[in-house]
Structure 1
Amino acid sequence: MLEISPEKVVHVIYQFREGNAADEELHAFIDGLNDDEKAHLTAIAWVGRGAFEPEDYQTAVETAYTEATIPTDQYLMGMPHLAENLEAGLEALGIDVSEVESDFL
C-alpha cells in the first residue's frame, strides 16, 4: 500500500519538529525522495489533515501526482502542522510506527 517506508515518514516528522535548525536538511531529504515516495508522503499528510478519508488513500496518491505544481519539499514544509498531519495520517491508515519512533528518541 505505502510506497514510502514508515522510517522515512517518521524521519520527516522528527526533522520538522526540530524546526529552523533542520529546515535545510529536511528540504534536501524530501527533495531526495523519488516521485512515488513524494506522492505517498503528501497523501499521508492529506489523510491526516482530513482532506481524504483513509479508504480514499489511493485517490489521494493519484491526486498528489497530478496536482504537484511546486516542489514537494516546499509544499509540505509550508504546512504549519505537517508533523501532526503525518502522524494522524499514519494512524488513520493503521500503520504502527512505535518501534520506528523509538529509534529517533
Structure 2
Amino acid sequence: MADPTLTISSESVCFIIVKAREFDAQDVVTDPDSGSNAADDGTASVLEAHADDLTQKELVAFINALSEEEQADLVALLWLGRGDGTMEDWDDLRDEAQRQHNNRTAAYLLGEPLLSDHLEEGLSQFGFSCEDFEIGRL
C-alpha cells in the first residue's frame, strides 16, 4: 500500500488552524450596543463573537475557495485527528468525506468543537507541524 497523501497543502491547513484558534478564542457578546472606543473598554470587544465577524468570514471564504478534494481532505483530517480512524484508514476516511461532500463544509467544520486541535493532530499524523507557520501569526 502506498503512503497516504494530501491534496491540500499543509500551509492551507495551518492557515485554517490559526484562524480557527482566533475564532474559537471569541466569547459571547457582552455589550451589543457598545459605541465606545475599543481602548475605552480595555479592548474586551475584540474577543467577542459578532455576526459580522471578519475572522469567521475569512475562514468561510478560504474553505469555500478550496477544491472539493481539498475540502474532503480537511474533513478527513478532522476525523483522523479526533480519533475516528487511523492512518491505515485514511483512504476510507477520505472516501467517506468525499461521499458526504456538500456546500456546507465550512459550516460543518466551524461547528466542530476543537476544530484546530483535531486538524493539528490529523496533520501531525502526516508528519507536518504548524509550528513554523504560526511564528509571527499568533
How does the TM-score come out when normalised to structure 2?
Answer: 0.69
**2:77 match:** 44
* Structure 1 segment 22-37 matched on structure 2, within 5 A: 22-37=55-70
For 2:101 and 2:6, locate their aligned partners in 1 and report how far apart those are by CA, in whole Å.
Answer: 18
CA distance in 2, matches of 1:8, 1:50: 22
1:10 corresponds to 2:10: no
- Report the Cα offset of residue 52 of structure 1: 1.3
Partner of 2:35: none
**Structure 1 contact 9–41 (Cα < 8 Å) conserved:** yes
Choose between structure 1 and 2: higher helix proportion. 1
Change in CA separation of 1:24 and 1:65 when aligned onto 2, cut-off 3 Å: same
Task: Give the whole-Å Cα distance in 2 for the aligned partners of 1:16 and 1:38.
Answer: 15
Root mean square deviation of aligned Cα:
1.5
Range with bigger deviation, 27-36 or 60-69: 60-69
Work out which of the two has the higher radius of gyration on C-alpha atoms and give 1 or 2: 2
Equivalent residues of 1:6, 1:100 under 8 A apart: no
Unaligned stretches of 5+ in structure 1? none
1:100 is aligned to: 133
How far off its partner does 1:103 sit? 5.8
Distance 2:122 2:104 in 1: 21
The count of residues paired between Structure 1 and Structure 2 equals 105
Cα offsets for 1:45-76 (capped at 9, x unmatched) = 11000011112111111100102245110111
Residues 103, 5 of structure 1: alpha-carbon distance in 2 compared, 3 angstrom cutoff: farther
Q: Deviations over 1:18-70 (max 9, x none)?
A: 11441111011101100010001111111000011112111111100102245
| Contact 2:80 2:122 survives alignment (8 Å) | yes
Distance 1:90 1:103 in 2: 20
